[in-house]
Copies of this chain bind each other. A is one copy, B any other.
Amino acid sequence: MNLKKSLVAVTLLFSALILASCGNSSNTSSSSNSKNGTSTSSTKSGSYQVTGQTNSSQYAGVIKNGKYLTSKSRGVTVSQSSGNLMNLKSFEAGLQDISKNEFSTSKYIFQEGQYLSSDTVKNWLGRKSKSNADGLNPASNGSTTPTGRNPIYLQSMEEQDYVQKSGSKLKLSGITIGLAMNSVDYYRKTTYGAEYQTNISDATLEKEGKAMAKEVLARLRKKKGLENIPIVIAVYKQASNDSLVGGNFVSYSINKGNSIEKWKALDIKNVVFPLKSDESAPNSNDSDAFSNFKSEVENFFPNLSGVTAQAQYKNGSLQGMNVSVTTQFYSETEINSFTQFLADQAEKYLPSGVKIDITVSSTTDGVQSFLSRSSTAKSFSTHVFESY
A interface with B by C-beta (< 8 Å):
2-4, 7, 10-11, 14, 17-18, 21-24, 51-55, 58-61, 63, 66-68, 70-71, 74, 77-78, 85-86, 88-90, 92-93, 96, 110, 112, 160, 245-246, 270, 292, 295-296, 299-302, 310-312, 320, 322, 329, 331-334, 336-341, 343-345, 347-348, 357, 359, 361, 365-367, 370, 372, 380-383, 385-388
Contact = CB atoms under 8 A, between A and B. Distances in A.
Contacts of A299: 7, 10-11, 14, 18, 66-67
Interface of A is mostly: mixed
A336 B92 CA distance: 11
Copies of this polypeptide in the complex = 2
A334 B68 contact: yes
A53 B340 contact: yes
Given A23-B344, A370-B370, A336 B61 contact: yes
A312 B387 CA distance: 10
A296 B331 CA distance: 35
B385 A332 contact: no
B357 A296 contact: no
A28 to B, nearest CB: 13
A75 to B, nearest CB: 9
A40 to B, nearest CB: 12
Given A3-B302, A61-B337, A332-B92, A343 B52 contact: yes
29 contacts: A7-B302, A17-B295, A18-B296, A21-B345, A23-B348, A51-B340, A53-B340, A58-B336, A59-B336, A60-B340, A61-B333, A61-B336, A63-B300, A67-B299, A67-B301, A68-B300, A68-B334, A68-B337, A68-B341, A88-B332, A89-B386, A90-B388, A92-B331, A92-B333, A93-B387, A96-B333, A112-B333, A322-B387, A366-B367
B338 A68 contact: yes
Contacts of A365: 85
Nearest to A54: B382
Given A3-B302, A387-B246, A54 B339 contact: yes
A366 B299 CA distance: 27
B51 A310 contact: no
Contacts of A21: 296, 344-345, 348
A17 B370 CA distance: 25
A18 B297 CA distance: 10
A88 B338 contact: no
Contacts of A311: 388
A388 B92 contact: no
Contacts of A385: 357, 359
Top 6 closest pairs, chain A to chain B, by CB: A61-B337, A92-B332, A51-B340, A89-B387, A312-B388, A367-B367
A93 B370 contact: no
A154 B388 CA distance: 20
A89 to B, nearest CB: 4
A159 B300 CA distance: 21
A54 B343 contact: yes
A142 to B, nearest CB: 36
A331 B78 contact: yes
A332 B66 contact: no
A338 B341 CA distance: 32
